[in-house]
Amino acid sequence: MTRLVMKFGGTSMADLERIRRAARLVAAEFDAGHRVAVVVSAMAGKTNELVAWTDGAGKAQKRPENENASNVTPVEGDDEYDVVVASGEQVTAGLLAMTLRNMGYDAITMMGWQVPIITSDVHGKARILDIPPAKLETALDAGQIVVVPGFQGVTESGRITTLGRGGSDTSAVAVAAAVKAIRCDIYTDVDGVYTTDPRIESKARRLPKISFEEMLEMASLGAKVLQTRSVELAMAQRVPVRVLSSFVEPGQATDQGTIVCDEEEIVEKHIVSGVAFSRDEAKITLLGLPNKVGISALVFGKLAQANINVDMIVQSEKRSGDYANQIFTVGRRDAQTAIDIMRDGKDEIGFDDIRLDDTVSKISIVGVGMRSHTGVAETMFRALSEKGINIQVISTSEIKVSVLIDEAYTELAVRALHAAYGLDKIGA
Amino acid sequence: MTRLVMKFGGTSMADLERIRRAARLVAAEFDAGHRVAVVVSAMAGKTNELVAWTDGAGKAQKRPENENASNVTPVEGDDEYDVVVASGEQVTAGLLAMTLRNMGYDAITMMGWQVPIITSDVHGKARILDIPPAKLETALDAGQIVVVPGFQGVTESGRITTLGRGGSDTSAVAVAAAVKAIRCDIYTDVDGVYTTDPRIESKARRLPKISFEEMLEMASLGAKVLQTRSVELAMAQRVPVRVLSSFVEPGQATDQGTIVCDEEEIVEKHIVSGVAFSRDEAKITLLGLPNKVGISALVFGKLAQANINVDMIVQSEKRSGDYANQIFTVGRRDAQTAIDIMRDGKDEIGFDDIRLDDTVSKISIVGVGMRSHTGVAETMFRALSEKGINIQVISTSEIKVSVLIDEAYTELAVRALHAAYGLDKIGA
């Protein structure tokens, strides 16, 4: 029999009534002949509460004589943080298993340490290293519905770990890969992946299918349907992922969601599959930068040391042969830190002046069809131009074109591009 | 160095501020030169919340076709109940360890499965079978403060278990026995064991010491300071237990509590150490019972089958040579069930009539000194008689005399006996 992994997020586990609905969805798949493993998040809000407690415990008043004690472990990376926070998923896993049992199904939980889900020892941000499938497979083959708490694992030395926020998607994909599931169904509060955000463009269409590569671009560009890491893992392990709403009853017709899969399995390929946008952008311009070898390494090395992620980079507008202006973008919350770092290194780097613009947004078109079609970027630039939208920075990848524009034009740009690529005619 | 186990109940773990106070008490003992293991309960109220959720999950709507499915596991004894409910202690253990770390101490949690605390597989009511001490001892010897969640364990086959309500006291005593601790300090919301309930007799005195046997009688007679099972275990393993308040700061002078220990270690022995009472009593009288062999086995066999605990038994007041009246007491909540069972068996048993009196209370005096002193019971009967209190039933053990009286005289009887044995002059 085929194996299926189903994952339910925090809103789908928020109370007993929703847990019952999730149980009915699980039961329907089991009755349809699948062997089913379920991965669950904590009740919505619960992880925040637990994290707040760990923050409070971490700020416990220090004894004066220990103020600077070298053996004080910082809260970040504290393995006891994981012990506290992992408890949220333990509760929902147990409750879902009990609910299934009381519906007449043979369900059993396996905690991260019982499976085991072996992770690195970077507490609070652990990465899954291995999931030995034997225990899961034995239970599944015996007809048991196995419920696994997401987000948690265990180190080789037997300490509890957590994967960082949103890690339950990654847990689900990793479990699916381990048991060679035909698919990993991610039940969430949206019913699929759309051509763009329906709150901005009412004509947005749900995509029946999207390739891993496109989903990865969409996820990293701000479409918050799936965690980037879970998509990377699904692509690497070739596990098809389906995103669908948990707010439906089993068998409801519209409940097909979006399947994220290999490009080869998508018959109807689109040149552009979606328009993504991100307002979390800030543009920094270094004016009068010496045009010499190693200057970029110096600038971006300083930012990398501060763990600041630089996105778009353009070196342009030479003032003379020896000087250039350097433009780059960072996340808006990092902008001030980046400015401070640059100012601290002003003498070493040798620029004239620095400018910050944090009223910009990034608009992107994503589609595997770009690989084989020309003129895709041109259509984008023309569509924006016709609406009088100025493009400040451009960056491209094999299946993506991103532009930086004035934030005020975000919605206008999204709608213009959605229409220009005929996305309102796509899909279901 | 000597090892010490400290246990904090739910009210001592109720919020971050109280967890910090517990941490200061732990730190003080560590600084005083002890190797310290700590056992914690869940935050007050948390276990009730978790249990309520499992009740709700247990009442999940059954699918019609599975209504009578044989594989439906009842909630009671459901191993997933333990998974859910054990999470409460996991949270407080982690928070206490984090708090200690941030005070500059090297603390580490060990869950029931990590220690491991091996239990039977009676889920929800498991019994501790074994605590291999190696991991605990290694950590303690390395100077780590080990924090263990109470109430939870793990079966030989690796499933999470819980010990039943109040099990954290038992966890603490078992850990103390495993690591050969000099003492198990139970921090709670009272500051020790009193000669009687101070809410009834303001002259009640805190006992500096009480023997295991006396504490066991007190606990089973309604003094709710320690769980009966934890006292039994402490007595069997000869682990001295100290009961004291967690609502004090380290070093505070009054914070000596009550030590529960071997009788031999108590120099100043009292004939009577305390007066206990219980209002949870109901008296049932069977009138005109045939006076024949096996009749008592028949009556009490039927009650035992229904898991009804019978306490005091008196067969008396023969009406003629062939008939007797049988009086016995049961817990008040079982009274109606007991009556129903007797009525169902009326023809088989052959009694004339049945009477219920649920306005009785049981007053007991407890003291190891009774073994070597005569006239102790006589003092009790005379003191009650002087106040006009009628004794309905009497039962005795080696270190205890209990009487059943009209409930309305409870406080009067307690105060009369407290004075008669000079308990207001005892102790600290």
Last residue of a domain, one of A231, A266, A301: A266
Which residues lie closer than 8 Å to B161 by C-beta, 6 or more apart?
A: B79, B82, B86, B112, B119, B120, B121, B122, B123, B126, B152, B153, B154, B155
Count of other CB atoms within 10 angstroms of residue A35: 24
Average model confidence (pLDDT) for chain A? 89
The predicted pLDDT at position B176 comes to 98
For range A315-323, the mean pLDDT:
65
A57 closest CB neighbour out of B16, B108, B109: B16
Query: Chain B: nearest CA to A64, how far in angstroms?
Result: 9
Measure Cα distances from A66 to B91, B102, B144 in Å.
25, 9, 16
Indicate if A255 and A281 belong to the same structural domain: no
Query: Chain B: nearest CA to A241, how far in angstroms?
Result: 28
For range B197-225, the mean pLDDT:
87
Q: Cα(first)–Cα(last) distance of chain B, in Å?
A: 29
Closest to B18 in 3D by CA, of B295, B248, B331, B303: B248
CATH number at residue A376: 3.30.2130.10
The predicted pLDDT at position A59 comes to 67
Indicate if A21 and A170 belong to the same structural domain: yes
List residues bridging with B394 in a β-sheet: B403
Indicate if A202 and A316 belong to the same structural domain: no
Indicate if A42 and A11 belong to the same structural domain: yes
Q: How many CB pairs under 8 A join A and B?
A: 160
A140-194 pLDDT per residue, tens: 999 999 999 999 999 999 999 999 777 999 999 999 999 999 999 999 888 889 9
Closest to B388 in 3D by CA, of B400, B363, B405, B403: B405
- Residue B66: pLDDT band (50, 70, 90) is very low
Which residues lie closer than 8 Å to A248 by C-beta, 6 or more apart?
A: A191, A254, A255
In A, residues 316-355, which contact B (CB 8 Å cutoff)? Answer: none
Asked whether the beta carbons of residue A109 and residue B83 sit closer than 8 angstroms, the reply is yes
Interface predicted TM-score (ipTM) over 0.90: no
CB B286 within 8 A of CB B325: yes
Indicate if B260 and B294 belong to the same structural domain: no
For range B208-234, the mean pLDDT:
87
A91 closest CB neighbour out of B84, B95, B101: B84
Whether B352 is in a domain gets the answer: yes
Indicate if B259 and B279 belong to the same structural domain: no
The predicted pLDDT at position A74 comes to 42
Find the domain containing B361 and state its range.
Answer: 275-425
Indicate if A252 and A346 belong to the same structural domain: no
- Residue A77: pLDDT band (50, 70, 90) is low
Last residue of a domain, one of B200, B234, B264: B264
Tell me, yes or no, if A91 comes closer than 8 A to chain B by beta carbon. yes
In A, residues 5-34, which contact B (CB 8 Å cutoff)? Answer: 16, 19-20, 23, 27
Asked whether the beta carbons of residue A59 and residue B102 sit closer than 8 angstroms, the reply is yes
Indicate if B310 and B184 belong to the same structural domain: no
Model pTM score: 0.83
B57 closest CB neighbour out of A60, A66, A95: A95
Residue of B nearest to A64 (CA): B103
Burial class of residue B137, CB neighbours in 10 A (0-12, 13-18, 19+): middle
Asked whether the beta carbons of residue B60 and residue A106 sit closer than 8 angstroms, the reply is no
The predicted pLDDT at position A253 comes to 53
Q: Identify the sign of the CA torsion B262, B267, B271, B273.
A: negative
Q: Which chain B residues are closer than 8 Å to A113 by Cβ?
A: 113
Tell me, yes or no, if B54 comes closer than 8 A to chain A by beta carbon. yes
Measured between alpha carbons, how far is A345 from B158 in angstroms, rounded to an integer? 57
A95 closest CB neighbour out of B16, B54, B99: B54
CB B286 within 8 A of CB B348: no
Whether B354 is in a domain gets the answer: yes
Whether B329 is in a domain gets the answer: yes
For range B416-424, the mean pLDDT:
95
Q: Would the pLDDT of B65 be above 70?
A: no
Whether A303 is in a domain gets the answer: yes
Length of chain A: 428
Which residues lie closer than 8 Å to B81 by C-beta, 6 or more apart?
A: A94, A98, B54, B58, B75, B123, B124, B162
Whether A82 is in a domain gets the answer: yes
Strands B183-188 and B241-245: parallel
A205-253 pLDDT per residue, tens: 999 999 999 999 887 776 678 888 999 999 999 999 999 988 877 766 5
Closest to A420 in 3D by CA, of A397, A387, A373, A371: A387
Distance, C-alpha A155 to centroid of its chain: 24
The predicted pLDDT at position A65 comes to 40
Indicate if B222 and B342 belong to the same structural domain: no
Radius of gyration, alpha carbons of chain B: 24
CATH number at residue B107: 3.40.1160.10
Which residues lie closer than 8 Å to A331 by C-beta, 6 or more apart?
A: A280, A281, A282, A308, A309, A311
Asked whether the beta carbons of residue A103 and residue B78 sit closer than 8 angstroms, the reply is no
| Two tokens, residue B218 | 């007190």
For range A53-57, the mean pLDDT:
90
Distance, C-alpha B337 to centroid of its chain: 24
Look at chain B and report how many structural domains it folds into.
Answer: 2
CB A6 within 8 A of CB A242: no
Indicate if A29 and A174 belong to the same structural domain: yes
A106 closest CB neighbour out of B63, B71, B93: B71
Last residue of a domain, one of A237, A266, A295: A266
Average model confidence (pLDDT) for chain B? 89
B93 closest CB neighbour out of A56, A83, A105: A83
Indicate if B190 and B112 belong to the same structural domain: yes
| Two tokens, residue B327 | 């009086």
| Two tokens, residue B296 | 């008592």
- Residue B297: pLDDT band (50, 70, 90) is confident
Measured between alpha carbons, how far is B420 from A378 in angstroms, rounded to an integer? 103
A240 upstream amide cis, omega within 30 of 0: no
Indicate if B244 and B319 belong to the same structural domain: no
Measured between alpha carbons, how far is B191 from A363 in angstroms, rounded to an integer? 66
Measured between alpha carbons, how far is B178 from B116 in angstroms, rounded to an integer? 11
B97-121 pLDDT per residue, tens: 999 999 999 999 999 999 999 999 9
Whether B62 is in a domain gets the answer: no
The helix-helix angle for B376-386 and B410-420 (nearest 10°) equals 130
List residues bridging with A366 in a β-sheet: A274, A400
Whether B269 is in a domain gets the answer: no
Query: Chain A: nearest CA to B171, how far in angstroms?
Result: 19
List residues bridging with A6 in a β-sheet: A38, A185
- Residues of chain B with pLDDT > 90: what percent? 68
Whether A65 is in a domain gets the answer: no
